[in-house]
Amino acid sequence: MTANVLLFKITLLIYFIATIFYLIGVISRNDKFSCNAKRLLIGGFAMHCLSIGVRWLATDITPAASLHESLSFFAWSLVFIYILFDLRYHMAMLGAFISPLALALMIFGAAVPSQAPNVNPMLDSWWFPVHVSLAFLGHAVFAIAAAAGVMYLLQERMLKSKKFSGLFYRLPSLNALDSMNYKCLTFGFPLMTMGIISGAIWANSAWGGYWRWDPKETWALITWFLYAALLHGRLTVGWRGRRAAIFAIIGFIFLLFTFFGVNLFLSGEHTFRNFTGE
């Protein structure tokens, strides 16, 4: 087992414990657990940085070229963005929703082969890290929007039905969740847009064409339109609340499909098989 894979597994373990702590914190209503869960998540993130850094040095190429690497990078972006959002906006319970998602990505990442890919030298340019960083940071921001969306729907349901579970007392207010949706949109949408543009430029330099309508590109575009519609709806027609929350969740499902589905069910230039030229 190479150093980076070991570090990856330690990271996964820490995320796992953090998720368990969040779960206990939510069920037992003990803030100490949630507080320690967050510390664990931050500790896990430090380990994760190390894991990705070591791999980058070892393979000498942006560690997002295989499915394993991408999943790890996605989870890393998610926790990174969560920590930033937590510092800036501090939203209760958000970690309890983000941590399991990061863990799921890591478990998936652990299940697929982790050996270093042979990257087609044509693709190895500076546009590669730029493209994947922008894309994954965008994904992460939208993941937070989706988490806020789920929290909104839970809280809204309790307020409408007037039946309160313990969650009611811990979830943030509807307004806070809704404005989180908007903030995520204002950060996520530019990131995603730049991700797509940088991808096009990279494609042009590698393959000599900006846009080839391969499945991933098509699905990314569909997802982009979805978020564009939400942003437009928010800004002009006053979409908000439930509708915006549902949109953010659907948008993220599309994102996940663009990321996984295209790789698993469809074929094209973006599948890792083609990427590594095997």
**Quick one: which of 27, 35, 58, 168 contacts another protein (CB under 8 A)?**
168
- Measure the CA–CA gap between 158 and 193, rounded to whole angstroms: 36
> Which one, 28 or 274, has the nearer CB to another protein?
28
Question: Smallest Cα–Cα separation from 248: which of 164, 194, 192, 178?
Answer: 178
Count of residues engaged in binding another protein, rule: CB under 8 A: 22
Question: Smallest Cα–Cα separation from 220: which of 146, 148, 104, 131?
Answer: 131
* Helix, strand or coil, per DSSP, at residue 237: helix
CB of 120 to another protein, least distance (A): 49
CB of 21 to another protein, least distance (A): 18
> Which one, 166 or 190, has the nearer CB to another protein?
166
Under rule CB under 8 A, residue 172 binds another protein = yes
- Measure the CA–CA gap between 158 and 167, rounded to whole angstroms: 9
Stretch that binds another protein, among 42-50, 103-111, 118-126, 160-168 (CB under 8 A): 160-168
Instruction: Enumerate residues 23-42 that contact another protein by CB under 8 A.
Output: 29-30
CB of 142 to another protein, least distance (A): 22
**Quick one: which of 80, 108, 239, 257 contacts another protein (CB under 8 A)?**
239
CB of 154 to another protein, least distance (A): 12
User: Could you tell me if 222 and 256 are in contact, meaning their C-beta atoms sit under 8 angstroms apart?
Assistant: no
Q: What are the tokens at 213?
A: 């309508």
**Quick one: which of 60, 112, 115, 164 contacts another protein (CB under 8 A)?**
164
> Which one, 96 or 245, has the nearer CB to another protein?
245
Helix, strand, coil percentages for the chain (3-state, nearest 5): 80, 0, 20
Under rule CB under 8 A, residue 166 binds another protein = yes
Stretch that binds another protein, among 138-146, 156-164, 182-190, 207-215 (CB under 8 A): 156-164
User: Could you tell me if 268 and 262 are in contact, meaning their C-beta atoms sit under 8 angstroms apart?
Assistant: yes
Written in H, E and C, the secondary structure of 108-174 is HHHHCCCCCCCCCHHHCCCHHHHHHHHHHHHHHHHHHHHHHHHHHHHHHHHHHHCCCCHHHHHCCCH
Under rule CB under 8 A, residue 176 binds another protein = yes
**Quick one: which of 115, 173, 186, 204 contacts another protein (CB under 8 A)?**
173
Under rule CB under 8 A, residue 213 binds another protein = no
Under rule CB under 8 A, residue 162 binds another protein = yes
Which positions ≥6 away from 145 have C-beta within 8 Å? 180, 181, 184, 185, 188, 248, 251, 252
> Which one, 241 or 261, has the nearer CB to another protein?
241
Question: Smallest Cα–Cα separation from 52: which of 103, 116, 95?
Answer: 116
Under rule CB under 8 A, residue 243 binds another protein = yes
Question: Smallest Cα–Cα separation from 146: which of 226, 225, 200?
Answer: 226
User: Could you tell me if 16 and 103 are in contact, meaning their C-beta atoms sit under 8 angstroms apart?
Assistant: yes
Under rule CB under 8 A, residue 169 binds another protein = yes
Under rule CB under 8 A, residue 157 binds another protein = no
Query: Which residue ranges make up the site for another protein (CB under 8 A)?
Result: 29-30, 155, 159-160, 162, 164, 166, 168-169, 172-176, 237-243
